[in-house]
Amino acid sequence: QVQLVESGGGLVQAGGSLRLSCAGSTRTFSTNAMGWFRPAPGKEREFVAAISWGGGTTMYADSVKGRFIISRNNAKNTVNLQMNRLKPEDTAVYYCAGRYGRSTESQLDEYDYWGQGTQVTVSS
């Protein structure tokens, strides 16, 4: 089982930026598609962004499209989420997730392993 550890969360003012990182524990990470999720009203977690195993395909929720950028470095077993022009409604715990498949997916149940989450707080 791949272990994931997120970092980079914190407190930022609206309009600011944060960069989240997720480190995977094994080389299997580099063959898995990855995603980021966050809790939302009425949902356990909502999709934020995903990236294919090689990084060639990305997918974003409409609410973050044009503001967030997902990327990965398979040599370092890391996936990142650059969050720009942050809004108070982006405040949440952000979870990194991986799936034993290579394509991007937005459904929660497509993901097989999860990190513990990192808190992002955006003040108005």
With 80 as the cut, is the pLDDT of residue 47 above it? yes
Q: Between 117 and 44, where is the model more confident?
A: 117
Instruction: Give the Å distances, CA to CA, from 119 to 22, 54, 63, 69, 104.
Output: 13, 27, 18, 18, 24
CB 35 within 8 A of CB 50: yes
With 90 as the cut, is the pLDDT of residue 109 above it? yes
Determine the pLDDT at residue 29.
80
Both tokens of 54, joined, read: 């090689």
Determine the pLDDT at residue 71.
98
Determine the pLDDT at residue 93.
97
The number of C-alpha atoms within 13 Å of 9 and in the hemisphere containing its C-beta is 18
From CA 89, how far away is CA 69, in angstroms rounded? 17
Confidence band, pLDDT 50/70/90 cuts, at residue 96: very high
From CA 27, how far away is CA 45, in angstroms rounded? 27
Distance in Å from the first CA to the final CA of the chain: 39
